[in-house]
Structure 1
Amino acid sequence: MADINIQTIPVEGDGKPRRFVFVLLDQFTLLCYACAVESLRIANRMSGKTLYEWRVIGEGGDTATCSAGTSFQLDGDLEEITRDEVVVLCGGIDVASATTKRLLNWVRREARRGVKMGGLCTAGYSLAKAGLLDGKRATIHWENQDSFMEEFEDVTLTKSVFVVDGNTFTTAGGTASIDLMLKFIADDHGEALAGAVADQLIYTTIRTDQDTQRLSVPTRIGVRHPKLSAVIQMMESNIEEPISPSILAREVGMSTRQLERLFRRYLNRSPKRYYMELRLQKARNLLMQTDMSVINVALACGFASPSHFSKCYRAQYNTTPYRERGAHATRLSI
């Protein structure tokens, strides 16, 4: 079937193609990479010009395997990049293991040469590990935020869909690659082209760096009750030092009994139980994504003693924190 003739979009800027170098880390997320490349491809198609060029490299220079199990042929190994190219690291599952010593040395070397560099999905971890995000704003997939904050205290982590700070950029993963690339396209060649690319992608709502990556509390829990949402937001923001139900209730102008009834009615659990589940979920993320000791994980999630933490963890997940970490390490090594 022949390609449909399209009306090309007049573009701003010079005609020199902007070149991207995608670095595929082991177990990278296919969606993030595909969204980025497709946005650039469609920009070329809609403009009728080669506005963007790209190549794909990775450690070893042979193939890279995504988290879905598909392997991709690489154009080359980690090699010297010209200063007018933009480096995009693509991360995914177990990014700590994929962030090898060789990769870090390469990232630092290219950054010293002034190359613009960013990370999609979890690859913000690789940039932070290399020291490129110290003193800067960044973002990463919400599932990795707890562990990231524990390890990189010099980075200002946000919940934005994407962040561009100076010569670095990061995204939250998923379709956030589209939003980032649409920003680049708009900056390079105008809003009309970026809008046309979004239309081709059936992407009806273009997000900016002011948009957050997770759904609002009411949307997530399926309940639109302002006081309940406010309490849950306070809980999520105070995991290390939990707030008592009486204080939470007072903050939203309710009695403790009223708050209890509110949680029972909408969430079928007490405020204390809901809060505990939030804390244990963070603990599970830290156990699986960091090398923090179980004691430090317990303290970071508001537990005064390892024994109490272990008891609560077993009740929730039917295993101990130590066994959870061991089982996770075994799964990754298979």
Structure 2
Amino acid sequence: MSSVSAPLHAGPSQPLRFGIVLLPNFTLTAFSGFVDLLRLASDDGDQSRPVRCSWTIVAESLVPIRASCGIQVAPWVTFDEAGAFDYVLVVGGLLHSGPSASEATLRFIRKAASTSATLVGICTGAFALARAGVMEGYRICVSWFHYWDFVERYPAIPEASLIADRLFVIDRRRITCSGGRASIDVAAAILLRHFDASIVQKAQRILIVDDAQRGSAPQPYPSGLDPTSHPKVRRAVLVMEQHIGQPLPLAELARRLDMSVRQLERLFSAQTGKSPNVYGRQMRVRMAAWMLTGSDKTVSDIAMSCGFSDASHLGREFRKEFNESPSAYRLTRSRSHEAGWQGV
């Protein structure tokens, strides 16, 4: 039985080797973006030959794997037949649809982790790495959209090690990425470790992609925030959203952004006209308003979910924002919704 072995130096006689594991319902964009950058950087003259890089799709069997969009991709070799890789890429996608990583897949990931190969989790591929038990002591990048899913599934992993306000994180022999277009940035970051920058830049230009985004770049801004806002403010708001049920103290928020509390307050005031605390409180009130019309939870439950001490606390803040109580807000919006349907 072949095994994943330590990486060799990538050179003219030895291409950089990538083993790609596609999980059920993987995201096609994340997969194709990564591979296309490898393809374009691998060879000159638009030949797409695997000269500088080689890539192999590996799986438990050769049965085609379905992407979340329905397109199927057939593996090239099985885990038992796989050779040595420098990087093992695990591409995930939908979390709540169909089976997750199989036991054979988890064994393959653990085998790779026991060597000098670098493991790369793209999109929810980071979930599979965590489930395989190979992320202890490493920082993990997850999409802000799946942050609480990760916390619920892997409570033993400290929340302090989760990064959901950046595009990707490189931590020694573990690389994790929020997914989507950021997979191209991860591919570029990896290739820049081994090849001249001009080779990577050429591939990016062919894909009509700007220069690679750094891992410290923020994930896409939350709704309601001006996209021109300072990156630190955008990252702060993302962190606030991730902790909406248990708001972080201002000092902790500033620490996560490598700023002083005073710097954060000044920047927030200049960018939003509000202090971080006021902005965060209004965000939690808006989330409560959405839950009042989009769920059957009680006002007390919604208050706790949105970081308020009790229903009375929520009620006081809610009236400041909407000039009515949470119960009246829910009743009014429910009637408007029913009237709208009756008029269809």
The bucket for the TM-score relative to the shorter chain is: 0.5 to 0.7
Q: 2:134 aligns with which of 132, 135, 143?
A: 132
Structure 1 position 80, deviation (Å): 6.1
When the two chains are superposed, the root-mean-square deviation of aligned CA atoms in Å is: 4.4
Q: Are 2:64 and 1:70 equivalent residues in the alignment?
A: no
In the alignment, residue 161 of structure 1 is paired with which amino acid? L
For the structure 1 residues 204 and 60, does the alpha-carbon distance in structure 2 shift closer, same or farther, using more than 3 Å as the test? same
Cα distance in 1, alignment partners of residues 239 and 34 from structure 2: 35
CA drift of 1:303 comes to 5.6
Give 3-state SS (helix, strand or coil) of 1:163's partner: strand
**C-alpha separation in 1, matches of 2:138 and 2:302:** 26
Paired position in structure 2 for 1:175:
181
Q: Aligned equivalents of 1:122 and 1:272: distance in 2?
A: 30
Question: Is 1:157 paired with 2:166?
Answer: no
**Number of aligned residue pairs:** 275
Alignment map for 1:1-334 (pairs within 5 Å): 14-46=12-44, 50-79=51-80, 81-94=82-95, 97-150=99-152, 151-152=154-155, 153-154=157-158, 156-158=161-163, 159-215=165-221, 220-222=224-226, 235-236=240-241, 239-242=244-247, 274-278=283-287, 301-302=306-307, 315=330
Equivalents in 2 of 1:80, 1:234: separation in Å? 43
For 1:91, give the aligned amino acid: G
Q: Which has the higher helix share?
A: 1
Counterpart residue identity of residue 239, structure 1: I
* TM-aligned CA deviation for residue 222 of structure 1: 3.5
Deviation at 1:205, TM superposition (A): 3.4
Within 1, Cα distance between the matches of 2:21 and 2:241?
A: 34
Cα distance change of structure 1 residues 274 and 160 upon mapping to structure 2, 3 Å threshold: closer
Deviation for aligned residue 1:278: 3.5
Please say if residues 18 and 56 of structure 2, whose CA atoms lie closer than 8 Å, have aligned partners that are also in contact.
yes
Structure 1 position 136, deviation (Å): 1.0
Unpaired runs of at least 5, structure 1: 1-11, 244-250, 254-261, 264-269, 288-294, 320-334
Of 139-148 and 120-129, more deviation after overlay is shown by 139-148
- Deviation, 1:160, is 1.9
Contact 1:80 1:110 in 2 (8 A): no
Q: Which moved more, 1:128-137 or 1:23-32?
A: 128-137
Q: Kindly tell me: are residues 59 and 301 of structure 1, through their superposed partners in 2, closer, same or farther at Cα, counting changes over 3 Å?
A: farther
* TM-score of the superposed pair, with normalisation by structure 1: 0.66
Contact 1:236–1:278 (CA<8 Å) still a contact in 2? no
The one-letter code sitting in structure 2 at the alignment partner of 1:79 is D
What is the identity, as a one-letter code, of the residue corresponding to 2:241? E
Shift of 1:103: 2.3
Residue 214 of structure 1 aligns to a residue whose secondary structure is coil
- Residue identity (%): 22
Please say which of residues 176-185 and 74-83 is displaced more in the overlay: 74-83
Q: Say which SS state the counterpart of residue 78 (structure 2) adopts.
A: coil
Q: Is the 8 A contact 1:120 1:171 kept in 2?
A: yes
Distance 1:232 1:45, change over 3 A: closer
Partner AA of 1:154 in structure 2: P
2: CA distance between counterparts of 1:52 and 1:83? Answer: 13
CA distance in 2, matches of 1:115, 1:52: 15
Q: Could you tell me how far 1:170 is from its partner in structure 2?
A: 0.8
Contact 2:126 2:176 in 1 (8 A): yes
C-alpha displacement at 1:189, in angstroms?
1.1
Q: CA deviation at 1:117?
A: 1.2
The runs of 5 or more residues in structure 2 that have no matched partner are 1-9, 249-263, 267-272, 315-325, 335-344
> What SS does the aligned partner of 2:169 have?
strand
